[in-house]
């Protein structure tokens, strides 16, 4: 059985992945325009980052046409699970309870979010 090592995206790569997860596919220009709404980013920097992400296997690229179209190769869910797991292990000593307490203590959850959390807790208790 061959296991592939998970490549941890950098913060900048995560910003690009978020855009690709929302759009499914995008050109470098489209990603750059979206990034420019919230931060200073040069086009060539965005291009270089996406090329590196392609080499790492984080994104795929359709280069059958002049404008390369990128798509995410890693799923949002797998990335979230990996990063949360790593955070629990390294920052919270393996305690998911500590993570949840910190998250809820530092962020005011809406009534809808609290209801969703309660439903999740109820489902976990049934297992």
Domain residue extents for the chain = 11-72, 76-126
- CATH fold group of domain 11-72: Arc Repressor Mutant, subunit A (1.10.10)
Identify whether the C-beta of residue 99 lies closer than 8 Å to the C-beta of residue 92.
yes
**What pLDDT is recorded for position 5?**
63
Tens digit of pLDDT per residue, the chain (127 long)? 444 566 789 999 999 999 999 999 999 999 999 999 999 989 999 999 999 999 999 999 998 888 999 999 999 999 999 889 888 999 889 988 888 888 888 778 888 988 898 898 898 888 8
Listed in sequence order, the residues at least 6 apart from 2 whose beta carbon sits closer than 8 Å to its beta carbon are none
Residue-level pLDDT at 1: 43
Closest CA to 34 of 49, 50, 19, 12: 19
Res 2: pLDDT: 42
Return the structure tokens found at 23: 């759009």
Q: Which two tokens stand for residue 42?
A: 């040069």
Give the single-character DSSP code of 92.
S
């Amino acid at each position: 059985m061959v296991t592939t090592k998970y490549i941890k995206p950098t913060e900048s790569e995560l910003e690009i992945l978020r855009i690709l997860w929302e759009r499914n596919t995008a050109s470098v220009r489209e990603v750059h325009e979206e990034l420019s709404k919230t931060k200073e980013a040069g086009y060539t920097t965005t291009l270089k980052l996406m090329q590196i992400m392609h080499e790492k296997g984080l994104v795929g690229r359709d280069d059958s046409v002049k404008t390369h179209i990128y798509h995410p190769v890693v799923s949002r869910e797998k990335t979230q699970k990996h990063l949360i797991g790593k955070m629990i292990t390294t920052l919270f000593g393996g305690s998911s309870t500590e993570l949840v307490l910190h998250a809820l203590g530092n962020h005011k959850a809406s009534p809808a979010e609290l209801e969703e959390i309660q439903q999740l807790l109820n489902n976990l208790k049934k297992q």
